Amino acid sequence: MVEDVADSRPMPEILQLDMSDLRSVLRSGWSDFLAAPLLGLFFAAVYVVGGWLIYWAMTTKGQIWWTIVAGAGFPILGPFIACGFYEVSRRIEKGQPLDWGEVLGVIFRQKDRQIPTMAAIIVVFFLFWNFLAHMIFALFLGKATLTNISTSLDVFLTAQGLTMLAFGTVVGAIFAAVLFALTVVSLPLLLDRDVDFITAMIASWSLVAANPAIMFVWAALIAVSLFAGMATGFLGLFLVLPVFGHASWHLYRRSLE
Checking if the pLDDT of 204 tops 90, the result is: yes
Beta strands in the chain (DSSP E): none
pLDDT of residue 42: 94
Mean pLDDT of the chain: 83
Q: Number of C-alpha atoms within 13 angstroms, CB side, residue 217?
A: 12
Of 40-49, 142-151, 198-207, 208-217, minimum mean pLDDT range: 142-151
pLDDT of residue 3: 47
106 in a domain, yes or no?
yes
pTM over 0.85, yes/no: no
**Report for 24-28, 74-78, 99-103, 165-169: range of highest mean pLDDT:** 24-28
Which pLDDT band, with edges at 50, 70 and 90, does 2 fall under?
very low
231 in a domain, yes or no?
yes
DSSP 14: B
9 in a domain, yes or no?
no
Q: DSSP states of 52-114 as a string?
A: HHHHHIIIII--HHHHHHHHHHHHHHHHHHHHHHHHHHHHHHHT----HHHHHHHHHHGGGSS
pLDDT of residue 34: 96
> Domain range for residue 122?
19-141+155-255
Rounded mean pLDDT of 227-244?
A: 90
12 in a domain, yes or no?
no
Q: Report the distance separating Cα 65 and Cα 57, nearest Å.
A: 8
Rounded mean pLDDT of 192-217?
A: 93
Query: What SS3 state is found at 36?
Result: coil
Distance between alpha carbon 157 and the CA centroid of its chain, in Å? Answer: 31
Q: Report the distance separating Cα 209 and Cα 21, nearest Å.
A: 17
pLDDT of residue 163: 82
159 in a domain, yes or no?
yes
8 Å CB contact between 123 and 76: yes
99 in a domain, yes or no?
yes
85 in a domain, yes or no?
yes
Q: pLDDT tens digits for 131-142? A: 887 788 778 776
148 in a domain, yes or no?
no
Q: pLDDT tens digits for 139-166? A: 877 665 555 555 556 666 777 778 888 8
Q: Report the distance separating Cα 243 and Cα 43, nearest Å.
A: 12
Q: Number of C-alpha atoms within 13 angstroms, CB side, residue 236?
A: 11
Q: pLDDT tens digits for 40-89? A: 999 999 888 877 877 776 676 555 555 555 555 565 667 778 889 999 99
Of 6-10, 13-17, 118-122, minimum mean pLDDT range: 6-10
Q: Across-strand partners of 9?
A: none
Of 9-13, 42-46, 52-56, 220-224, minimum mean pLDDT range: 9-13
What residues contact residue 226 under an 8 Å CB cut-off, 6+ apart?
A: 237, 240
Number of domains in the chain: 1
8 Å CB contact between 136 and 167: yes
